[in-house]
Amino acid sequence: MMRSLFSGVSGLKTHQTKMDVIGNNIANVNTTAFKSSSVTFSALMSQTTQNASGPNATTGTGGINPRQIGLGVKSGAINTDISGQGSAQSTGNPFDIMITGDNFFIVSDGNSNFFTRDGSFYVDGAGNLAMTSIGYNVMGWQVDPETMEIKKDSVSALRIMSAENMTYPPESTSKAYFSGIIDKNDTDVTSTSGLIRNVNFYDALGYSYTAKMTLKNTDTAGEYAFELDSIIDSKGNVLEQDFSKVLGDSGITVKKSTPITLAKNYSLSGGILSYNGNPVVTLSNILNTATGADQGKLLDSPGTGFTDDATSTAAQKYDAAVKELAKAFGFEGSEKDFYTYWTQTDPADAATRHRVTADLLTANIAVTAEGTDRSVQATEREIQGAVIVYDTNTGKFKGINGVENATAVNLKLSNLGGEFTDITIDFETSSMYDNKGTSTISGKNGDTKGLGTGRRLGKMTQVSIQNNGMIYAAYDNGMTRLLGQIASAEFANASGLVKEGDNLYSASTNSGEFDGIGVDVTANGGYFSTGVLEMSNVDLSAEFTSMITTQRGFQANSRIITVSDTLLEELTNLKR
């Protein structure tokens, strides 16, 4: 009877242990990534009162089984359902991560590595990805600064919001291209100012600029003069530069006949330009106002007067008269073009080719009626730029400056100094077709593959984590940067991990050791999901069922002790 008492006691103890496990499971029903446990029982030991014996051939008797009395029960094992996947709980927080698969996050307290399925993370004050609950750093792989790819070395803390990661450096524009259709009948292309197209670009410091380009037809079919009109900064200021430095003194000349039409309310008769019938300019005075070295000089830019004598009274009068004359013929703000188109026949005569010539005073050139068209004799003029050539039979791009298969013009911005770099402008994807008088050709920074576009300084706008753990930052200049990759750990026997509290595990001799490097979570079919957390895998229905059976088991064992005690009481009563 003493054996039954101790058996009952062992039964009470083991069922109490099972109830403890059930209670812990239910207590952690809402614990992030909690893994439920279960208890298995095993017989404690048995007392053998008679050993087994085999059959006796001599006597013809059979064998006898051993006679053993069990002495109770014990806890055989407490197993953790480590591989049971918990349900997903949506949080919307991009730093909440759930692992699908058998892997674990690697976290560190600064001295030792631990493992967890709890992916509730945040970015701390130092920019490190860390556990929300206890602040342990999430471990992963860093980016190789040379290749800008992940270097799968020993894991280290992922500092994703360091000072250098908060911005993306600017880059100067190195490439641009023109694409679309240029229509030879486009009135902008045939006008004196030409078809104006902008190309935006950046210098090495990220400052933005706009290069205004012009495309003008020439007297040669399929050929168009490409020149730089101006460079404007982000505040609208025109950079006054010698554009021959930018597009080069190419030595290329083109022939161009230009119709000249007096603007509305202007008239020209007897060498006198009038507006609304009031004389404003006497042509002979233009030649007489500036004398000596100043006479007939080309203005460097509108409104600045002469190169070497901008403050002289003669220069100022000359400047004003030419501006008014240019305005009357539709060249307002483009005095250079006005000079170019009113040249003498000898372009090599530098002293006279930029003068407003005496031809304007002759009867055969004078415009006597408003709106009367007059084409100046076709003249050769040197352009600062290039000649874009199209095949007149197919309309396809043919070459540049008469060189077939040459596709690009080099904008030598580095000659301007500062942080400018050269830009190669490609025309290969442009064409010349009939588009009902409308040109669609336009310029864009970068090449057709998006390379060499340049950029301004970028500020970080968001961080995203891919399903393989790679962390990317997005910047407001359109760039992205790889910041690192979250590593994971896998074990041959994950159930052998030791629970350390705070949803942490540590490796044991039976789980397998962590090599310090880890694995890509996708290597064995797993993946990360962001914005969700793994819930506890506790099954309440199963736990309540186990609770009932455990209660009945405990109750039955208590009855064994009660009955055994009653029997002992009867035994002691025999002496009475």
Instruction: Find residue 200's DSSP bridge partners.
Output: 210
Whether the pLDDT of residue 143 is over 90: the answer is yes
Distance, in Å, from the CA atom of 51 to the CA atom of 207, rounded to the nearest integer, reads 97
Whether the pLDDT of residue 64 is over 90: the answer is no
CATH of the domain spanning 174-257+378-456, picked from 2.60.98.20, 2.60.450.10, 3.40.50.300, 1.10.3720.10: 2.60.98.20
Confidence class for position 573, pLDDT limits 50, 70, 90: confident
Q: For residues 457 and 167, is the Cβ–Cβ distance under 8 A?
A: yes
**How many CA atoms are closer than 13 Å to the CA of 530, on its beta-carbon side?**
15
DSSP three-state, residue 59? coil
Confidence class for position 379, pLDDT limits 50, 70, 90: low
Helix (H) or strand (E) run with residue 77 in it: strand 73-80
> 35-44, 63-72, 548-557 — which is least confidently predicted?
63-72
Whether the pLDDT of residue 318 is over 90: the answer is no
Confidence class for position 313, pLDDT limits 50, 70, 90: low
Q: Among residues of the chain, what percentage have pLDDT more than 70?
A: 80
> 19-23, 133-137, 158-162, 273-277 — which is least confidently predicted?
273-277
Whether the pLDDT of residue 355 is over 80: the answer is no
DSSP label at 128? B
**Residue 310 CA to chain centroid, in angstroms?**
51
| pLDDT tens, position by position, 177-224 | 999 999 999 999 988 778 999 999 999 999 999 999 999 998 889 999
Average pLDDT in the chain: 83
Q: What is the pLDDT of residue 240?
A: 59
> 321-335, 353-367, 470-484 — which is least confidently predicted?
353-367
Distance, in Å, from the CA atom of 341 to the CA atom of 313, rounded to the nearest integer, reads 26
The mean pLDDT value for 539-548 works out to: 94
Estimate the crossing angle of helix 540-572 against helix 2-27, to 10 degrees. Answer: 160
| pLDDT tens, position by position, 422-454 | 999 999 999 999 999 999 999 999 999 989 999
Distance, in Å, from the CA atom of 560 to the CA atom of 4, rounded to the nearest integer, reads 7
Q: Which tokens is 282 given?
A: 């006497």
Whether the pLDDT of residue 549 is over 60: the answer is yes
| pLDDT tens, position by position, 485-534 | 999 999 999 999 999 999 999 999 999 999 999 999 999 899 999 999 99
Tell me the whole-structure pTM to 2 decimals: 0.70
Distance, in Å, from the CA atom of 508 to the CA atom of 35, rounded to the nearest integer, reads 18
More confident residue, 574 or 310: 574
Distance, in Å, from the CA atom of 469 to the CA atom of 483, rounded to the nearest integer, reads 11
Whether the pLDDT of residue 480 is over 70: the answer is yes
DSSP three-state, residue 381? strand
Q: What is the pLDDT of residue 56?
A: 85
DSSP three-state, residue 124? coil
Confidence class for position 301, pLDDT limits 50, 70, 90: very low
Buried b / exposed e along 419-446 (16+ C-beta atoms within 10 A): ebbebbbbbbebbbeebeeebebebbbb
More confident residue, 403 or 364: 403
| pLDDT tens, position by position, 46-58 | 778 788 888 888 8
Please tell me which of 7-11, 74-78, 99-103, 417-421 the model is most confident about, judged by mean pLDDT: 99-103
The mean pLDDT value for 235-257 works out to: 69
The mean pLDDT value for 305-326 works out to: 59
Domain boundaries along the sequence of the chain: 2-83+538-575, 88-168+458-534, 174-257+378-456, 259-377
